[in-house]
């Protein structure tokens, strides 16, 4: 068995005490990456990984403090700015981009001795639900290579399922951590908006983007969150972290109130997914948990709301790619205007351009009130309904995705059909809540259970998730 | 609401600084019309007395100290710059 399938806690203890070396863990990680390269989960390898592992091993020998994640190999979605490998965001427009600084989350992990081994494939700029929008080719599902791994963090999730690293750092704007985690059979944690700094992460929708973790277990995810959460002066939208540790989990389900969201198990759900969720409900009840159905009517509008606000924020964030300071610059351009128009058309893929234009439309004079402002108001309605639900329930539950992984190519020519698959996840980003996807045991393709809590409920959310993990 | 036609896509591409070919314009018109059609249902919701949401955590006036700190390293910026001259980004002629 790959050492990387073992709990992070055990690995850290063995590395810190010199029983295993950080170098051996990194070598194992690199060999798994190479052995499984046909799944195309990763992009560039960090050329400095072994060097950093050697340094950890030397420090252990010399009795120095090596940090709480010493020697743990991890993978970062390629929208995190990092040294040692290019940062492409999965887009040709950043094909040769070498980050001039590193993201806060990466810096915090490196400070604890974790080792970045590779960058993970993604839908370009995080725009997609299948990783097929990567300009460098799709990632394949580890459970069935003819299927998509989910997205946009498909590479990050597939990598963990394949044992390429102990955890992945990823981003979730409308489900991009939870949905691929569900489809690849691993745990995906999206924290409260603002709990983890966005500094140095390629921006998608700035009022939605959350930084989180993909790992094998709830415990491993909590250990990583412990070291990346908190206020960062470089990101003014970060919030104070909770007192105490995220890594002290207690896992009782007794007396907890769960709301099974009616709209999450309604129309369009795969019957197999639905029956798996109903089975979970029975198990929770048998452990002393309380489950009742709840309706959140505005959920029917969540996708429409999301697909107005998100393109609007994208069109604004992607305006910075001008072919002047960094990124692709057209060789054909004769004038400055050409440089903008040609560089952007050549560098951006179809989906980025589609979203930029939709965003430009909903923000443009004459349409702003009817689309953008209207969607902002519907976002308020949804927040109120979630607030109401959390007065009655500790957590909301449902599937992470209404369907299992679909065939590569099946939806890639129908953008709207692809958007509709995000139905169970986007609402969480609209309200800023934390949520976690936990894999259910299946004989076939994986299914994820989604657990959603009120803002800043990470401590309780992770404990309850661990309780659920034990009975699934 | 008006449907999205090729003319509208040309206007949007111009606003967004993207130089599209005619084929691209036609393909986008069809797809974006379908997507805008899907989000039209927001128009049926009564939101007269509802305030818009700009952000979800309720933070206000986040301040930081005004400290002098080193900026980004010029060598690192130069590495990524399509055209660079004497510590500046160089652009095509404007006039």
- Look up the pTM and report it: 0.97
Out of B41, B53, B76, name the one closest to residue A380 (CB). Answer: B53
Mutate to test the interface with B, among A304, A357, A367, A435 (most CBs of B within 10 A): A357
Q: How far is B3 from chain A (nearest CA, A)?
A: 12
**Chain B CB contacts of A325 below 8 Å:** 77, 80-81, 89
Q: Is A226 in contact with A9 (CB distance < 8 Å)?
A: no
Tokens of A271: 């019957």
Q: Residue A169 forms beta bridges with which residues? A: A76, A213
Task: Give the pLDDT confidence score for residue A250 in this predicted structure.
Answer: 87
A176 is catalytic: yes
Distance, in Å, from the CA atom of A149 to the CA atom of A170, rounded to the nearest integer, reads 14
Q: What angle (nearest 5°) sits at the alpha carbon of residue A384, between those of residues A380 and A390?
A: 145
Contact A307 B39 (CB under 8 A): yes
User: Which member of A16, A29, A77, A153 is catalytic?
Assistant: A77
Regions in chain A scoring below 70 on pLDDT: 1
Contact A357 B57 (CB under 8 A): no
Strands A115-120 and A42-45: antiparallel
Q: Is A289 in contact with A258 (CB distance < 8 Å)?
A: yes
Task: Give the pLDDT confidence score for residue B93 in this predicted structure.
Answer: 83
- Which DSSP string do the residues of A121-173 spell out, in sequence order? P-SGGG--SSSTT-TT----BTTBTTB---SSSHHHHHHHHTTSSSEEEEEES
Tokens of A153: 């963090």
Residue B1: pLDDT over 60: no
Contact A304 B38 (CB under 8 A): yes
Mean pLDDT for the stretch of residues B69-95: 92
Residues 6+ apart with CB under 8 A from A391: none
Mean pLDDT for the stretch of residues B23-52: 97
Task: Give the pLDDT confidence score for residue A242 in this predicted structure.
Answer: 85
Would you say the C-alpha torsion A370, A174, A115, A142 has a positive or negative sign? negative
Share of chain A residues as helix, strand and coil, in percent rounded to the nearest 5 = 45, 15, 45
Q: Is A69 in contact with A227 (CB distance < 8 Å)?
A: yes
**Chain A CB contacts of B20 below 8 Å:** 345, 353
Contact A364 B12 (CB under 8 A): yes
Q: Which of A109, A375, A175, A282 is nearest to B43 (CA)?
A: A375
Buried b (16+ CB within 10 A) or exposed e, A386-409: beebbeebbbbbbbbbbbbbbebe
Mean pLDDT for the stretch of residues B51-60: 96
Q: Residue A76 forms beta bridges with which residues? A: A119, A169
Task: Give the pLDDT confidence score for residue A243 in this predicted structure.
Answer: 82
Task: Give the pLDDT confidence score for residue A252 in this predicted structure.
Answer: 84
How does residue B2 score in pLDDT terms, banded at 50, 70 and 90?
A: low
Residue B95: pLDDT over 80: no
A329 is catalytic: no
Tokens of A99: 């980050």
A193 φ, ψ to 5°? -55, 130
Distance, in Å, from the CA atom of A208 to the CA atom of A182, rounded to the nearest integer, reads 20
Contact B56 A239 (CB under 8 A): no
Distance, in Å, from the CA atom of A100 to the CA atom of A4, rounded to the nearest integer, reads 31
Length of chain B: 95
A392 is catalytic: no
Residue A320 per-residue DSSP state = G
Helix (H, G, I), strand (E, B) or coil at A356: helix
Residue of chain B whose Cα is closest to the Cα of A431: B56
Helix (H) or strand (E) holding A285: helix A271-286
Contact A322 B17 (CB under 8 A): yes
């Amino acid at each position: 068995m790959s050492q990387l399938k073992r709990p992070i806690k055990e690995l850290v203890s063995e590395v810190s005490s010199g029983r295993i070396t950080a170098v051996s863990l990194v070598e194992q990680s690199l060999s798994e990456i190479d052995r499984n390269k046909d799944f195309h989960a990763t992009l560039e390898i960090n050329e400095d990984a072994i060097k950093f592992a050697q340094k950890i091993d030397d420090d252990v020998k010399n009795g120095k403090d090596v940090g709480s994640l010493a020697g743990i190999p991890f993978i970062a979605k390629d929208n995190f700015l990092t040294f040692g490998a290019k940062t492409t965001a999965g887009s040709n427009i950043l094909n040769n981009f070498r980050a001039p600084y590193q993201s806060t989350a990466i810096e915090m992990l490196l400070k604890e001795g974790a080792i970045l081994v590779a960058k993970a494939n993604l839908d370009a700029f995080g725009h997609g639900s299948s990783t097929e929008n990567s300009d460098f080719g799709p990632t394949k599902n580890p459970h069935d290579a003819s299927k998509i791994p989910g997205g946009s963090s498909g590479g990050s999730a597939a990598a963990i399922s394949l044992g390429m690293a102990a955890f992945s750092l990823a981003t979730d704007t409308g489900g991009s951590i939870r949905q691929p985690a569900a489809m690849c059979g691993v745990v995906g944690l999206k924290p409260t908006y603002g709990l983890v700094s966005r500094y140095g992460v390629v921006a998608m929708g700035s009022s939605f983007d959350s930084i989180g973790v993909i790992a094998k277990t709830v415990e491993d995810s909590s250990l990583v969150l412990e070291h990346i959460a908190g206020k960062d002066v470089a990101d003014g939208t970060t919030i104070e972290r909770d007192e105490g540790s995220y890594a002290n989990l207690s896992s009782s389900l007794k007396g907890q109130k769960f709301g099974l969201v009616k709209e999450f198990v309604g129309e369009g759900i795969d019957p197999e997914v639905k029956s798996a969720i109903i089975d979970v409900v029975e198990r929770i009840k048998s452990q002393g948990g309380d489950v009742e159905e709840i309706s959140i009517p505005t959920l029917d509008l969540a996708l429409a709301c999301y697909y107005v606000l998100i393109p609007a924020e994208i069109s604004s964030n992607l305006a910075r790619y001008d072919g002047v300071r960094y990124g692709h610059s057209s060789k054909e351009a004769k004038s400055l205007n050409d440089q903008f128009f040609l560089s952007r058309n050549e560098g951006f893929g179809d989906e980025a351009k589609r979203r930029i234009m939709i965003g430009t439309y909903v923000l443009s004079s004459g349409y702003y009130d009817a689309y953008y402002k209207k969607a902002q108001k519907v976002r308020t309605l949804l927040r109120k309904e979630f607030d109401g639900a959390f007065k009655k329930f500790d957590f909301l539950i449902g599937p992470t995705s209404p369907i299992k992984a679909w065939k590569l190519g099946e939806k890639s020519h129908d953008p709207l059909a692809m958007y509709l698959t995000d139905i169970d996840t986007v609402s969480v980003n609209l309200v800023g809540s934390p949520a976690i996807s936990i894999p259910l045991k299946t004989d076939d393709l994986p299914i994820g259970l989604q657990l959603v809590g009120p803002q800043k409920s990470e401590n309780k959310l992770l404990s309850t998730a661990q309780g659920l993990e034990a009975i699934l | 609401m008006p449907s999205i036609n090729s003319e509208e896509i040309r206007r949007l591409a111009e606003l967004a600084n993207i130089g599209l070919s005619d084929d691209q314009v036609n393909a986008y018109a069809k797809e974006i019309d379908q997507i805008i059609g899907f989000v039209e249902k927001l128009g049926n919701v009564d939101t007269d007395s509802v305030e818009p949401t700009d952000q979800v955590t309720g933070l206000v006036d986040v301040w930081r100290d005004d400290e002098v700190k080193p900026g980004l390293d010029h060598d690192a910026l130069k590495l990524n710059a399509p055209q660079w001259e004497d510590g500046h980004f160089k652009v095509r002629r404007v006039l």
